[in-house]
Chain A
Amino acid sequence: MQEVKNRALALLKDGTVKRVLGWRIGENTYDPEPAFFESEEDMQTFVYNNFCAANLSKYMIEASKLEGKTLVCLKPCDSYSFNQLLSEHRVDREKTYIIGVGCKGKLSIENVKRAGVKGILSVNDTDPLQVETLYGNTEVSYKAAMLDRCHVCKGKEHVVYDELIGESEDTSTADRFAQVQMIEAMSPAEKFAFFQKELSKCIRCNACRNVCPACSCRKCVFDSDKFDSAQKANVDSFEEKMFHIIRAFHVAGRCTDCGECSRVCPQGIPLHLFNRKFIKDINTLYGEYQAGADAEARGPLTSFTADDAEPSVVAEGGTK
């Protein structure tokens, strides 16, 4: 989107910001990547299209430590992550200039492939998508190519920004908790088998951890010699079952359900399901709560009220 690029360039030029955090053209049309831009020359490669799915909030932790303001492009759902980081004092609002960029649902090349398209040479981001393949040109509908998470869109509103550029659209078409309910309905043995199968695919590349805005500890417990979890995580069976479960516990109540974990997983593990189960339970036990919606709000897991569900109810996973 040219307008975003122009505005970013203008702010960079007039000195309002020292750098721009956005997306850079990738090798192909469909794989733009997060990048910092510090000059007009850098900005040549700036891009904002419907494949720009990455949530840039987390990069602001490091950018906040740098001198001067950083311009960051946030989509509506990214702004929740930024707000959550703000509430945890991990990013500096004073050093951030937020352009709330419009979003009508982001695309996934994986989903294009899933739609049966093989030998992709290039693809544009129009509706429907025009795909050039080794076997000729074809079309894929926008909805079919949209990221799974966009089907449970948080809405078109940015919760934090300095200015807005472009239109957004609420692209939700599915029930956010339908998959969780499906798993809840399984027997314990079926659940175990399901997660065993999914988590066995994990290669511990740490992509989920590295991309997760809630997983922003200075030193991860899995990397620290202060905790025995580091050694334990190397044990095979533990790794499968425990790494992701511990991670889900660590982000519980803070996860905004941005879905980056599942998006970046090279093995296609539906990692967001753990987080979404926590969110569903929190909503049932303590009332509807969206992490990051309000930077001033106290999360249900870090506040106490006299009418909180009793521990016995929580233990049973029941409702109030």
Chain B
Amino acid sequence: MQRIGVFVCHCGSNIAATVDVKKVAEMARLEPGVVFADDYQYMCSEAGQAKIGAAIKEYNLTGLVVCSCSPRMHEATFRKCAERYGLNPYMVEIANIREHCSWIHKDMEEATQKAVILARAAIAKVNLNAPLQAGESRVTKRALVIGGGIAGIQTALDIADAGYEVDIVEKTPSIGGRMSQLDKTFPTLDCSACILTPKMVDAAGHEKIKIYTYSEVEKVSGFVGDFTVDIRKKARSVDEAKCTGCGVCQEKCPSKKTPSEFNRGLNNRSAIYTPFAQAIPNVPVIDREACIKFKTGKCGVCEKVCQAGAINYAQEDEIITEKYGAIVVATGFDTIKLDKYDEYAYSQSKDVITSLELERIMNAAGPTKGHLERLSDGKAPKEIVFVQCVGSRCSDERGKPYCSKICCMYTAKHAMLIRDKYPDVNVTVFYIDVRTPGKNFDEFYRRAVEEYGVNYIKGQVGKVAPQPDGSLLVQGSDLIDNKQIKIKADMVVLATAIEPNQGVRNIATMLTASIDTNNFLTEAHPKLRPVESPTAGVFLSGVCQGPKDIPETVSQAGAAAVKVIGLLAKDKLTTNPCTAQADELLCNGCSNCAKVCPYGAITYETRQVNDHGIREDRRIAVVNKALCQGCGACTVTCPSGAMDLQGFSNRQLIAEVDAICR
């Protein structure tokens, strides 16, 4: 029989305001196995933990139930506490009476009743707990960064500078990401390329960094410290070792009608292309969909003009398998599609553009060579309207509920730059709120208003109507003056909401990393573990976790790198002892568990068993404890109940359910 101590936490008023904690302790005392129960204001505090320690000694406790917050928050804390006072850490169970109870209920009586039931379930479980011993696993001292934008580059550089090997996998033909598409950056207005390209060069030249561009992660197996990843290196059709990057092939390529991804489709590129002049690596790829040679078999111009003999039409995709100790997701963002926003006439007029398109127009290397002009007729615009929150902070299904965070600042930047370069152009900004929290951000916005005379109007745009004369009639409301406004504009710029990059769902699935309803990757804890995924060994860098500007992205990238370095610096990791185990007398050897195991942890062996005197050779499931992550998929698949999870045995779970239903 266990000797169980129950400790009910008030969590200040977080729990105690809704749950009668004294009553919970009192009721717990009546449960089988419980020899001590008490409540305290903050169980996790030093004093609270000392209370637990004292009770362990005084009452010779063999198991603990802490009624407090989610185990995700403090299970580790209380396990450590138990260990400090001589108890096996796996003799601790948490009854979550905060997230699962006090926070979601209003009625004290009901909430108290539920807390008592939750405590009862945890007590029933501890009654069947057994001490568990954690094992050890190795750490592969190499990190993988998925995504080669500023977030990925910065994370990789920081990890590499600490002396660890890092591989970057980038989907597009070049690293650089969204930042490489930007013209100037707020709030200092330095040119994006000038600060990004040196970092790209650093990454490419770093002896510890290996960059796989035009590549995608295809398969991930293993676990923290020991991931195995298949990387598909897509056929470039150009030999990276031979190509000198002279660019002749791109000039001579006769297929020049593919919209340039880099320039957001504002102009065209050739079938063989590098996305931009500063691309790293400076090796083009052949877009096989657009290439005449691949489509018709007749052409081969690039092969003829290539002095280096680097063109290789027969190149095939290559699968590279590599081991990693840690994986960083830095997959970034894209702007949302505007097909549901007909009122802004984006699809009807070439002069209604997104802010990212404006970046390309304002960029000296962009489709208009940096000259601000209307894409419809090439004329210089005199009246420009910016519309904020297009798809951001949106209450209906068309857009996103969140604030994209960067738009207020880049719009102030755009407005300021236009007014600076073209003082004769009128600039109007329609906004819901102007949000400028950040160092020197509000000063920057005020400069746009006060020094550059940008006309800010609080209100939303209802309609943009293309006129027969080529102008755009913008109808909006001015909430401060309480009137409707009509502006005859030459150009309209939409601050389009950002969303996580397509494909992140797929990556999250491969990594078993959780994702929220907006496809942003979830942190292990929103405040205390913001750069870690709840999946051990997976870290988050940049906008894949939530909207961010460049300074924030770079800080988060560095933070993710530190977490990775902290992991890679270890020689051994403590493994979770809550792993599966097959009862050889019950196992049918049917292989169903091996089929569902996401970690490939189950194999079979034929061995002699002694089943109550009958000796026979049987096919029995064997779990590799180092690979098993304790997910429990095998235990529910096993038809005979032979598979059981230590620490979460079938009996324990049924005991919990029984306790709840009692």
Contact = CB atoms under 8 A, between A and B. Distances in A.
Q: Which 9 A-B pairs have the closest CB atoms?
A: A88-B590, A217-B640, A302-B595, A250-B639, A221-B641, A302-B596, A89-B589, A302-B592, A219-B586
Given A89-B619, A219-B585, A226 B641 contact: yes
Contacts of B637: 301-302
B440 interface: no
Given A227-B651, A306-B506, A88 B641 contact: no
B595 to A, nearest CB: 4
B339 interface: no
Given A89-B619, A251-B639, A217 B592 contact: no
Contact of A88 (B592, B596, B650, B651): B592
B640 A228 contact: no
Contact of B509 (A89, A219, A254, A306): A306
Contact of A217 (B586, B596, B604): B586
Interface in A76-90: 87-90
B185 to A, nearest CB: 37
Interface string B620-643: 000000000000000001011100
A303 to B, nearest CB: 7
B248 interface: no
Nearest to A216: B588
A29 to B, nearest CB: 38
19 contacts: A65-B616, A88-B588, A88-B590, A89-B591, A89-B619, A217-B586, A218-B586, A218-B588, A218-B640, A224-B641, A226-B586, A227-B641, A228-B651, A228-B658, A250-B639, A302-B592, A303-B596, A304-B596, A306-B509
Contacts of A219: 585-586, 640
A37 B509 CA distance: 54
A219 B619 CA distance: 15
B654 interface: yes
A306 B503 CA distance: 12
Given A250-B639, A303-B595, A306-B509, A228 B654 contact: yes
Contacts of B604: 89
A254 B591 CA distance: 12
Interface residues of A, number: 26
Q: Which of B591, B604, B639, B654 has the most CB of A within 10 A?
A: B639
Contacts of B619: 89
Nearest to B637: A302
Nearest to B619: A89
Interface of A: 65, 87-90, 214, 216-221, 224, 226-228, 250-251, 254, 298-299, 301-304, 306
Q: Which of B506, B616, B641 has the most CB of A within 10 A?
A: B641
Interface string B157-181: 0000000000000000000000000
Interface string B335-359: 0000000000000000000000000
Contacts of A303: 595-596
Contacts of B589: 88-90
Given A88-B591, A88-B592, A306-B506, A221 B640 contact: yes
A217 B590 CA distance: 9
A301 B633 CA distance: 11
A257 B210 CA distance: 55
B517 to A, nearest CB: 13
B595 A90 contact: no
A298 B592 CA distance: 9
A227 B652 CA distance: 11
Nearest to B592: A302
Contacts of B596: 302-304
Interface of B: 506, 509, 583, 585-592, 595-596, 598, 604, 611, 616, 619, 637, 639-641, 650-651, 654, 658
A284 to B, nearest CB: 21
Contacts of A226: 583, 586, 641, 651
Contacts of B651: 226-228
A65 B609 CA distance: 14
A298 B639 contact: no
B586 A224 contact: yes
A214 B586 CA distance: 15
Nearest to B510: A306
A30 B532 CA distance: 70
A92 to B, nearest CB: 10
A226 B651 CA distance: 8
B595 A227 contact: no
A216 B586 CA distance: 11
Nearest to A251: B639
Contacts of B640: 217-221
Q: Which of A65, A226, A227, A301 has the most CB of B within 10 A?
A: A226
Contacts of B654: 227-228
Contacts of B641: 221, 224, 226-227
Contacts of A299: 595
Nearest to A250: B639
A106 B453 CA distance: 92
A184 B610 CA distance: 47
B554 to A, nearest CB: 33
Nearest to B616: A65
Contacts of B595: 298-299, 302-303
B650 to A, nearest CB: 7
A219 B638 CA distance: 12
Given A88-B591, A227-B650, 9 more contacts: A88-B589, A88-B592, A89-B590, A219-B640, A227-B641, A227-B651, A254-B639, A304-B598, A306-B506
A90 B604 CA distance: 13
A12 B583 CA distance: 39
Nearest to A298: B595
A63 B362 CA distance: 80
Nearest to A253: B592
Contact of A90 (B588, B611, B650): B588
A226 B637 CA distance: 17
A254 B638 CA distance: 12
A90 B590 contact: yes
B506 A218 contact: no
Contacts of A88: 588-592
A303 B595 CA distance: 7
A224 B509 CA distance: 38
A284 B347 CA distance: 39
B605 to A, nearest CB: 12
A198 to B, nearest CB: 24
A217 B506 contact: no
Nearest to B655: A228
Nearest to B597: A302
A217 B659 CA distance: 29
A217 B588 contact: yes
A200 B637 CA distance: 29
A89 B596 CA distance: 16
